[in-house]
Amino acid sequence: MTVAAKIETADVRHDWREDEVEALFAQPFMDLLHRAHTVHRANFDPNRIQISRLLSIKTGSCPEDCKYCPQSAHYATGLDKEKLLQVEQVVEAAAKAKADGASRFCMGAAWRGPNGEDFEVALAMVEGVKALGLETCASFGLLSRDQAQRLKHAGLDYYNHNVDTSPEHYEEIISTRTYQDRLDTLEHVREAGLHVCSGGIVGLGEGNADRAKMLVTLATMPKHPDSVPINLLIPVPGTPLADQPRPDPFDFIRTIAVARILMPRSFVRLSAGRQGMSDEMQALCFFAGANSVFCGEKLLTAPNSSPESDASLFGRLGLGPL
């Protein structure tokens, strides 16, 4: 049996070891991309891409101290803070996203976790977006079991809660919530029957060993996340990581490729940072197994690749929406 055939028939693994994953990162670039693309092609149509739209429903004043985040109340970033949007505003934005070709609508709120009346409003938002026939996704911070179940009942399909980085490097980036807090929320999400969306950020000052450990965390979960967003840090003035050097583009692409190999049936999303990527870099990410993006000129508070740029790039690559 050829190597390609073995890859195509291999079962999904949940027992990846850190040394195995570090060895993948250390492979020659072309060998790694070939293997990742073979896995990708065996599990997905390589010429189709899933398109989502992300809206910030409550912006700024977050009590967490994530060193990369312009929405943290701990840092002076000049961000215009916004209170929770009205349900009608969110449903209107979702309808426009659907008209623009999005199949999933994601709502993000700068909360430690949803509480009180704000949570009731968020539930109504989920119900309204779901009624449009879109897949629904939310990122509201830490969830209790009851909150996860209520979101499921309201019609939520996906819940996003990233692990961000390795357990060891995490302590250098965030102090107001623990790594275990994040894992507990993901467990509540799985128990409620929601699809898990969880990934990380490249460019936080971590090394390949940290990236490997982050992906091992995701790939050894009882069920692989259905969506794995891989973000490229956008250094924001006023945050502690404002002057963080930009990672080598090939290191970022390697992370995409390894995520595809470890989680062959998950959607791997090319997320934050696309605006600063060349078309060629994005094309290599798609070849390496990324098959999901956020559309729209704004990604929460950060600029995103414009719809016109995306349409041009996807057209030249022959990529069509799922």
Tokens for 285?
């990410």
pLDDT higher than threshold 70 for residue 155: yes
Q: Is 62 designated active site?
A: yes
Neighbours of 208 (CB within 10 A): 16
Share above pLDDT 90 across residues of the chain, in percent, rounded to a whole number: 70
pLDDT higher than threshold 60 for residue 297: no
pLDDT higher than threshold 90 for residue 20: yes
Q: Tell me which of 69, 177, 182, 254 is the catalytic residue.
A: 69
Q: Tell me which of 53, 62, 150, 182 is the catalytic residue.
A: 62
Give the pLDDT mean for 285-299.
83
Provide the pLDDT confidence category of residue 274 given band limits of 50, 70 and 90. confident
Q: Quote the CA–CA distance of 117 and 261 in Å, as a whole number.
A: 42
Provide the pLDDT confidence category of residue 65 given band limits of 50, 70 and 90. confident
pLDDT tens-digit readout, 188-244: 999 999 999 999 999 999 999 999 999 999 999 999 999 999 999 999 999 999 999
DSSP 13: P
Tokens for 133?
């026939």
Give the pLDDT mean for 239-266.
96
pLDDT of residue 296: 63
Q: Is 265 designated active site?
A: no
State the DSSP string of 257-296.
HHHHHHSTTSEEEE-TTGGGS-HHHHHHHHHHT--EEEES
Q: Is 285 designated active site?
A: no
Q: Tell me which of 211, 254, 269, 274 is the catalytic residue.
A: 269
User: Residues near 203 by Cβ (< 8 Å), separated by ≥ 6?
Assistant: 232, 233, 235, 244, 246, 247, 252, 273
Q: Quote the CA–CA distance of 217 and 257 in Å, as a whole number.
A: 16
pLDDT tens-digit readout, 161-198: 999 999 999 999 999 999 999 999 999 999 999 999 99
Contact (CB, 8 A) for 18 and 213: yes
CA angle 293, 135, 147 (to 5 degrees): 110
Output the pTM of the full model.
Answer: 0.90
Q: Quote the CA–CA distance of 206 and 317 in Å, as a whole number.
A: 32
Q: Is 66 designated active site?
A: yes
Q: Tell me which of 35, 66, 182, 295 is the catalytic residue.
A: 66
Q: Tell me which of 137, 177, 182, 254 is the catalytic residue.
A: 137
pLDDT of residue 299: 59
pLDDT of residue 10: 55
User: In the predicted model, what is the mean pLDDT of the chain?
Assistant: 90
User: Residues near 263 by Cβ (< 8 Å), separated by ≥ 6?
Assistant: 12, 218, 219, 224, 225, 228
Q: Compute φ and ψ for 212, nearest 5 degrees.
A: -65, -45
pLDDT higher than threshold 50 for residue 9: no
Task: Region of 193 please: left (phi>0), alpha (psi -120 to 50) or beta.
Answer: left
Provide the pLDDT confidence category of residue 110 given band limits of 50, 70 and 90. confident
Task: Report how far apart the first and last C-alpha atoms of the chain are (Å, whole number).
Answer: 32
pLDDT tens-digit readout, 48-61: 999 888 888 888 77
Provide the pLDDT confidence category of residue 4 given band limits of 50, 70 and 90. very low
Contact (CB, 8 A) for 142 and 177: yes
Residue 303 or residue 209, greater confidence: 209
Q: Tell me which of 106, 182, 260, 285 is the catalytic residue.
A: 106
pLDDT tens-digit readout, 115-151: 888 999 999 999 999 999 999 999 999 999 999 999 9
